[in-house]
Amino acid sequence: MISPDVLDKFISVCERAAYGASKFIGKNDKIAADQAAVDEMRSALNKMDINGRVVIGEGEMDEAPMLFIGEKVGKGKGEDLDIAVDPLEGTNFTAKNLPNAISVLAVTKKGGLLSAPDTYMEKIAIGKDLPKNLVDLDNSVKKNINLLAEAKNTIPEKITACVLKRPRHNKIIKSLEELKVKIKFISDGDVTGVISVVDPNSSVDIYLGIGGGPEGVLAASALNCIGGQMQTRLVLSDNEEINRAKKLGITDLKKKYNIEDMIKGDTIFCATGVTNGEMVNGIIDKGDYFEASSFVLHKSQNLSKKVTNKIKK
């Protein structure tokens, strides 16, 4: 179990990262926004009394100053923790002042997180209280939708699917349209997209498509705390990506991962809004301080809450 004492400190880490990114809202500079979030997140993590290791980050060590895979964070004392980070999920949202930009992290005890490379990942996710292993990446879209509709005692026309709007998803979109499934398109931000399947305020029943691998593990961390089902598989397009996966200890390159394969044991998840969104509100600059809204989960405490804090700059 992760000590509850560190929860507020991890919330603070996300708040600082979100504040850093917020300085670049609407300035059409996604690189600067991302860098500001990284700098704030790294600084806050390194003030913590933990022996932390970034397992899910932004690339390899030679790509620093991003928070890289394998980077040690914290003061080197305290709990041994593995951390997944995305200091700014939705760089384009921030640059263009669009909704749903967040700063996000997940935490487990050492060894609890899948070391996923920074590559693409196939994903399918559905909500809570459904038969185990109901959907599968190897099924056709039609089969998965029909299975889900049957389990929900409804018809495909009343199912809503969340899909990242990309040309690579044209076949998926065509299948959904043939089934008359309602489609909620998102342009970025598939952590929020996946989590929407378990959000009681969302109409989304299923998420499907290919997105980022790190974002897949972060979303799985949230579902590990609050329920739902998710299955993923790495998409490795060249030898460089294959070698990157092998370097992280992945031997079965075509393995399908369920939540329990990606996340083990107790988990903390935190997402803080940069811009206003469906999950949380964005940063509000009040002059000497700022207001930050976060969605926070801690599995061992059965904790799921939204918090708004006032923080001195």
pLDDT value for 60: 61
- In this prediction, residue 63 has a pLDDT band, given cuts at 50, 70 and 90, of low
Same domain, 241 and 282: no
- In this prediction, residue 182 has a pLDDT band, given cuts at 50, 70 and 90, of very high
Same domain, 142 and 70: no
Same domain, 257 and 271: no
Q: How many domains does the chain have?
A: 2
Mean pLDDT across 259-263:
97
Same domain, 42 and 164: no
Chosen domain end from 221, 237, 262: 262
Mean pLDDT across 201-217:
95
Instruction: Provide the pairing of β-strand 72-73 with 50-56.
Output: antiparallel
Same domain, 144 and 187: yes
Same domain, 174 and 253: yes
**How many helices (H) and strands (E) are present in the chain, helices listed first?**
9, 14
Domain containing residue 301? 4-113+266-312
Instruction: Give CA torsion, residues 144, 150, 154, 156, to 10 deg.
Output: 30
Same domain, 108 and 37: yes
- The model's pLDDT over 7-31, given as tens digits with 9 standing for 90+, comes to 999 999 999 999 999 999 999 999 9
pLDDT over 90 percentage in the chain:
91
Same domain, 258 and 270: no
Mean pLDDT across 181-196:
95
Instruction: Give CA torsion, residues 207, 164, 85, 60, to 10 deg.
Output: 120
SS3 label, residue 171: helix
Average pLDDT over the chain, rounded to an integer: 95
Q: Which one has a higher pLDDT value, 154 or 249? A: 154
Chosen domain end from 239, 262, 285: 262
pLDDT value for 218: 97
pLDDT value for 19: 98
The CATH number of residue 65's host domain is 3.30.540.10
The CATH number of residue 215's host domain is 3.40.190.90
Same domain, 240 and 128: yes
Chosen domain end from 238, 262, 286: 262
Instruction: Give CA torsion, residues 24, 28, 29, 33, to 10 deg.
Output: 30
| Distance (Å, whole) CA 87 – CA 178 | 38
Same domain, 106 and 147: no
| 3-state secondary structure string across 192-204 | HHHHHHHCCCCCC
SS3 label, residue 303: strand
Q: Which one has a higher pLDDT value, 116 or 159? A: 159
Same domain, 221 and 282: no
| Distance (Å, whole) CA 210 – CA 77 | 38
Same domain, 229 and 171: yes
